[in-house]
C-alpha cells in the first residue's frame, strides 16, 4: 500500500478550503495509511471544510475502515469575523454565523469519498463523552485555546489503540512561531510525559505519536 496519495486525492486536498500545507498533509496521509492497518476507525477532531478529512477518508477507503470527523462547524476563535483566519464565504447569510458543513459536504462529494466518512456535528467533548470504541488514529486539529485542546486530548487520546497513532496539529515549541497559541504544544508535551506515547514523526507543526506505553494518556483523576 502506497503512503503517498494518488494525484487526484492530492489535487482534491489542494483544491479544498483550509490551511494545511502539503508537507503536513502528506505526513497525515502516511500516518493514516499506517494506522489503517489496525482495522479500526480513523478519527479527526476539527473538520472545517474537509481538507484534511479527504486524506483520512482515502486512507480509510484503502484500509476498509471508516473515517470519523468531529466539528460543530461554527468555527474556531481565530476563524470568526474580524480575525485573521476568517473566510466570509463560510458564513451562513441567514443566521450570520459560520457554518462550514455545506462546504465540507461539497468537498467530500467532489472527492468521491462520502461513503467512507461519518461526520459528527457537535462539540468535541460532548461527542467524546458518548464514544465507546478504540480507534487506530486520533488527529487533533480543533480549537486552540487551552480549554479546547485539553478537552480534545482528554476526550480522545484514551481511545487510541495500542500501536495506534495520535497526530497533533499546530504544535509550536517556539512562542515566536505560533499564531493561535501554544495549547497544542502543551497537549503534545503532556502526551509524551504520560508515558503512553512516543514521537515517531514530525512535519511542519504536525507531530505523530505512537501509543507504545502502559501509561494512561490522561493520568489519574488527581492529575487532570
Ligand atoms: C483548524 S480548523 C480544522 C482544519 C481542518 N482539519 C483542515 O485541515 O482543513 C478547526 C476546526 O475545529 C472546530 N472546532 C473548534 N473547537 C471545537 C470544539 N470544541 N468542538 C468541535 N469542533 C471544534 C472549528 O469549528 C473548526 O472547523
Which atom of ligand 1 lies closest to the CA of 122?
Answer: 21
pLDDT at 182: 94
pLDDT at 17: 96
Beta bridge pairs of residue 120: 70
Measured in Å, residue 92 CA sits from the centre of ligand 1 at 17
Residue minimizing CA distance to atom 22 of ligand 1: 71
Ligand 1 contact, 69 CB (< 6 A): no
pLDDT at 84: 86
pLDDT at 65: 98
pLDDT at 188: 98
State the catalytic residue, choosing from 144, 148, 169, 216. 144
Beta bridge pairs of residue 160: 135
Ligand 1 contact, 46 CB (< 6 A): yes
The DSSP letter of residue 157 is G
pLDDT at 222: 47
Q: Which of 31, 18, 19, 42 is nearest to 156 (CA)?
A: 42
- Whether 109 is catalytic: no
**Residue tagged 464565504 (cell numbers):** 89
Domain regions of the chain by residue span: 7-203
Distance CA 23, CA 10 (A): 11
Over residues 137-148, the pLDDT tens digits come to 999 999 999 999
Both ends of the chain: CA-CA distance in Å?
Answer: 39
Ligand 1 contact, 155 CB (< 6 A): no
DSSP per residue, 79-120: GSTTSTT--GGGEETTTTEE--HHHHHHHHHHTT-GGGEEEE
pLDDT at 224: 43
Taking 70 as the pLDDT cut, the residues of the chain under it are 1-2, 220-224
| CATH number 3.40.50.150 given to 7-203 | yes
Amino acid at each position: 500500500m502506497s503512503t503517498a496519495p494518488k494525484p487526484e486525492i492530492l489535487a482534491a486536498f489542494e483544491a479544498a478550503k483550509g490551511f494545511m500545507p502539503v508537507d503536513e498533509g502528506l505526513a497525515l496521509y502516511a500516518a493514516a495509511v499506517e494506522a489503517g492497518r489496525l482495522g479500526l476507525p480513523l478519527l479527526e477532531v476539527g473538520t472545517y471544510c474537509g481538507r484534511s478529512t479527504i486524506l483520512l477518508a482515502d486512507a480509510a477507503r484503502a484500509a476498509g475502515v471508516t473515517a470519523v470527523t468531529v466539528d460543530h462547524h461554527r468555527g474556531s476563535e481565530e476563524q470568526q469575523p474580524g480575525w485573521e483566519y476568517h473566510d466570509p464565504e463560510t458564513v451562513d447569510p441567514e443566521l450570520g454565523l459560520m457554518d462550514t458543513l455545506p462546504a465540507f459536504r461539497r468537498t467530500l462529494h467532489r472527492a468521491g469519498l462520502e461513503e467512507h466518512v461519518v461526520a459528527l456535528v457537535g462539540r468535541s467533548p460532548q461527542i467524546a463523552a458518548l464514544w465507546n470504541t478504540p480507534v487506530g488514529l486520533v488527529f487533533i486539529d480543533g480549537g486552540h485555546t487551552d480549554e479546547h485542546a485539553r478537552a480534545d486530548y482528554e476526550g480522545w487520546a484514551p481511545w487510541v489503540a495500542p500501536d495506534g497513532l495520535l497526530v497533533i496539529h499546530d504544535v509550536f515549541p517556539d512562542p515566536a512561531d505560533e499564531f493561535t497559541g501554544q495549547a497544542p504544544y502543551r497537549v503534545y508535551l503532556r502526551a509524551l510525559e504520560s508515558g503512553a506515547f512516543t514521537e515517531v514523526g514530525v512535519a511542519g507543526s504536525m507531530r505523530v505519536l505512537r501509543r507504545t506505553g502502559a501509561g494512561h494518556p490522561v493520568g489519574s483523576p488527581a492529575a487532570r
